[in-house]
Amino acid sequence: MSRHLKELDADGIIHRKVYAEVPPKVEYTFTEKGMSLNDVMQLLAEWGKKEYRS
């Protein structure tokens, strides 16, 4: 999972903020670019919930 988060960060989809504390704390938030994917992700989620029969 951490590899995926690093890839999303590198692609500018999320922002990773590391806090210098013990235990370590990291927060992830969507960037403006990441938020622009919201409509597409909702459509994919709705499509995935549909039941298709062959």
3-state secondary structure (DSSP) of residue 30: strand
Options 3.40.50.1110, 1.10.10.10, 1.10.357.10, 1.20.120.530; CATH for 2-49 is 1.10.10.10
Cβ(16)–Cβ(9) below 8 Å: yes
The residue extents of the domains of the chain are: 2-49
Bridge partners of 16, per DSSP, are 28
What stretch of H or E contains 28?
strand 25-30
Cα–Cα distances (Å) from 17 to 10, 14, 38, 41, in that order, read 13, 10, 21, 24
pLDDT of residue 52: 72
What is the per-residue pLDDT across 1-54, written as a single tens digit (0 to 9) for each? 789 999 999 999 999 999 999 999 999 999 999 999 999 999 999 999 987 766
Cβ(16)–Cβ(2) below 8 Å: no
